[in-house]
Structure 1
Amino acid sequence: MKRTNAILVALFFTFFSCQFFDKKAPDKEQLLKEELGKINWEEVDEFPTVTNCDSVLDKETQKQCFFDYLIQNIQNRIGVDTLQIMYPEMDTISVKVTINPDATLEFRTEKPKEAITYDIKVIDSILQNKLADFPAIEPAIKRGIKVKSQFILPVIIKVEE
C-alpha cells in the first residue's frame, strides 16, 4: 500500500511538475514590441529648457517660457532689418529648430505656405551666421533619456508700429 501511494505521488508530481516546465518564457522581442507600443513617441516627458526657464515649475508655463525665449532670441539675432530690406512683403518666417540629444542645434527655414516667394537659401545663410553662437539649450527628455526634438516657430519679421 505504501509503495502504491508512493508511486501515485511520484506520478502525480511528475505529471503536474512537467506542466510547470512546459511553460515557455515570454519572448523578449514580443515583450519589447508590446512595451514600445505603449509609449507615445509624439510627446516628451520634459520639454527642452534654458536657464531662464529652469525656475518655472509648471510644465505648460515652462514650455511657453522656452518658446518665448527661443522666438525672442532668434528675432533679436537674425537682423530683422536685413530681412525687411531684402523681402519687404514678408512679415513672418517659419523656422524649424532641431535640438539634438547632445544639445547641438540646427536652424532651417521652412517653405512659406502663402504665394510670397523668397530665396530660402539666403535666409538659411543668414540664420546660420546669426545663430551660430546660440545660447545653450538642454534637450528634451523621454523616459529619462535625452532625445531629439523639433519645432517649427513663427518668427515675426515685420513689426507693426
Structure 2
Amino acid sequence: MKYCLSFLLVSLFTSCKYFDVEKTTSEAILKEELKTFNWNDVDTYPSFSICDSLISKSEKKECFQNNLSSHILKFLQDEVIVVTQDIHDTINLQFKVSEKGDLTLLEAKVDSLTVKEIPNIYELINNSLNTLPTIYAAIKHDQYVKTEFELPMVIKVE
C-alpha cells in the first residue's frame, strides 16, 4: 500500500504540467487571424441599387462596372466633341470607392493623341462622375471598406 501511495503522489506531481492551460492574449489571436486574412478580396463589391437583385458576387461586380462605364460613355456621347481625326482608344481609369461610397478618379491613362484631340477629356470624365447614382461601398467582414479598381473603356469618336 505504501508503494502504491508513493507512486500516486509521484505521478500526481509529475503530471501537473499536462493540466497547465496555455494562455493566449487577444493580440496573439488577432495576429493569427490577420495572417489568414485575404486583403485583396472583399465579401461584396461596390454596387448601385440596380445591382441589388443579383445574387452572385461576380454578377454584382460586373453589373457595377458595366453601369459605371455606360454612365461615363453616355455622358461623353451627350457632349459635343469636335475632332480633326478619328479616335479609337482604350483609356484606363483607376478609381477609389471610399467606405462611404464616394467615388474618386485616381488616374486616367489616356493616349497622347486622344488628349490632343480632346484636351478636356479629364474634365469630362470627372464631370460624368458627379452625376452618378448612389454607390454602396464594398463590404468585408460586415464592415464598409475602401476599394480601388481599374476600368478600361473604349472611346470612339468619328
TM-score, length-scaled by structure 1: 0.73
**1:126 correspondence with 2:91:** no
Q: 1:121 to 1:136 in 2, by over 3 A?
A: farther
Q: 1:86 to 1:39 in 2, by over 3 A?
A: farther
SS in 2 for 1:110: strand
Alignment of 1:5-154 (within 5 A): 13=12, 15-17=14-16, 20-21=19-20, 23-79=21-77, 81-82=79-80, 85=83, 88-112=86-110, 116=113, 118=115, 122-154=120-152
Letter in 1 for 2:115: Y
Q: Are 2:88 and 2:154, in contact at CA under 8 Å, matched by a contact in 1?
A: no
How far apart in 1 are the matches of 2:88 and 2:143? Answer: 39
Computed over aligned residues only, the root mean square deviation of the Cα atoms, in angstroms, reads 3.3
Q: Are 1:95 and 1:110, in contact at CA under 8 Å, matched by a contact in 2?
A: yes
Letter in 1 for 2:104: E
Worse overlay, 133-142 or 117-126: 117-126
How far apart in 2 are the matches of 1:108 and 1:84? Answer: 26
- Deviation string 1:20-50 (CA, Å, 9 cap, x unpaired) is 34x5412543432221111211111111111
Identity of aligned residues (%): 30
Letter in 1 for 2:19: F
User: In the TM superposition, what is the alpha-carbon distance from 1:141 to its structure 2 partner?
Assistant: 1.1
* Unaligned 5+ runs, structure 1: none
How far apart in 2 are the matches of 1:132 and 1:76? Answer: 13
Paired residues in the alignment total: 157
SS in 1 for 2:109: coil
Letter in 2 for 1:133: T
- Deviation string 1:126-148 (CA, Å, 9 cap, x unpaired) is 22223223211111111111111
